[in-house]
Amino acid sequence: MNAEHDEARERAELSSLLPAPAEPELPVDRHRLLRGHLMNEITEAPRPAPRRTRRLGWLALPALAGGLALAVVLADGGAGAPAAPPAAEGAPLNVAPVAVAQVLDHAAQVAESKPATAVTGGQFTYVKSLVAFSGVTASAGGVSEVTHDAPHQRELWLSADGKQWGVLIEEGWKPVPAEPRGGKDKSRPGEPAPRTDGGQWLEPNTRPGLNGPTYEYLAGLPTDPETLLRKVYKETKGQGQTPDQEAFVTIGDLLREQVAPPAVSAALYRAAARIPGVSALDDAVDASGRHGVAVALVHGGVRTEWIFDRSSYEFLGEREVVVDTGNAWGAPGTVVGQSAVLGRGVVDAAGERPQR
């Protein structure tokens, strides 16, 4: 009876942490750019089941998507030529919570040891990375196939206070024209002149949240890990495939393509260590070929990995690997998404790069 009573009480406490959220709508351009995590429906032919159904994965809020991007692209416009699917190796090191806690606590200590940078509202966060997406290509004839991109460079500038236009420059992708307004003008109100460097303008982010944050929003997050995790569960309720998977993916998006105050980054790592089902891996490889240790969560036959330098515990990148047979995305070991963070910083203008 005591065990049953304790279980009921724990369920009640968990339920209290997951009230329904009111998630703001994201601007149209952010949805287009975060193609991977939006997974638009294609009904002409059978296809692999979408892994993530909302976020802008690679825009950090935006690119944000929940983790690595699995893109759905139409054959008449989008991804480049498909590449052979890469294979991954990496046996579980230890699925005990203590192993995960050790890795993530080391990462948290590294994060909080960094000096806090004064960031003003008019500045921009900058993240440079390598990314690769897997997706489904559908032709007009109703034929679909899984495609695998090769890693390519991506640079992202986001307004620290959300009031300025950001910029995305990604190799192999041309700027996306704005949708016509009233059948006439294709411009967006206040949009700057087209860029000469191939970059896409990103609309100001006036309604930031966990799925689309600004630096100022991140700076206001709680730094107590338990409080922060409650917030993540609360604001992502009903999204993703399970609450735990969505919490893991949401935190991963914030780690991959955002710049946050050191105390907040440390709290994100320690919050993730409290998510049930997270395991540790002895070896994983990011999109640039760097090896490291990883923490991971398996769901839907795919393992999402956060990769850390084996010595310094700096965050290197993220990877998604098929682990079950019969998966529509490929055989076990197929890498369906990967990234590698190459640089971060704060700059004074969109398009400006940090000084080395």
Per-residue pLDDT 10s for the chain (356 aa) are 554 455 445 444 444 443 333 333 334 333 333 333 323 222 223 333 333 433 333 343 333 333 343 333 333 333 333 444 566 654 444 444 559 999 999 999 999 999 988 999 999 999 999 999 888 777 666 667 888 889 999 999 999 999 999 999 999 876 555 555 454 555 688 899 999 988 999 999 999 999 999 999 999 999 999 999 999 999 999 998 899 999 999 999 999 899 999 999 999 999 999 999 999 999 999 999 999 999 999 999 999 999 999 999 999 999 999 999 988 888 999 999 999 999 999 999 999 999 87
pLDDT of residue 58: 35
Q: What is the phi-psi region of residue 329: left when phi exceeds 0, alpha when psi lies from -120 to 50, beta otherwise?
A: alpha
pLDDT of residue 65: 35
Task: State the residue for tokens 């393992």.
Answer: 303
pLDDT of residue 98: 55
SS (H, E, C) the chain: CHHHHHHHHHHHHHHHCCCCCCCCCCCHHHHHHCHHHHCCCCCCCCCCCCCCCCCCCCCCCCCCCCCCCEEEEECCECCCCCECCCECCCCEEECCHHHHHHHHHHHHHHHHCCCCCCCCCCCEEEEEEEEEEEEEEECCCCCEEEEECCCEEEEEEEECCCCCCEEEEECCCCCCCCCCECCCECCCCCCCCCCCCCCEEECCCCCCECCECCHHHHHCCCCCHHHHHHHHHHHCCCCCCCHHHHHHHHHHHHHHCCCCCHHHHHHHHHHHCCCCCCEEEEEEECCCCCEEEEEEEEECCEEEEEEEECCCCCEEEEEEEECCCCCCCCCCCEEEEEEEEEEEEEECCCCCCCCC
pLDDT of residue 117: 87
pLDDT of residue 137: 75
Residue 149: CB atoms within 10 Å: 22
pLDDT of residue 11: 46
Residue 304: CB atoms within 10 Å: 26
pLDDT of residue 327: 84
Look up the pTM and report it.
0.75
Task: State the residue for tokens 């638009």.
Answer: 40
pLDDT of residue 87: 63
pLDDT of residue 210: 94
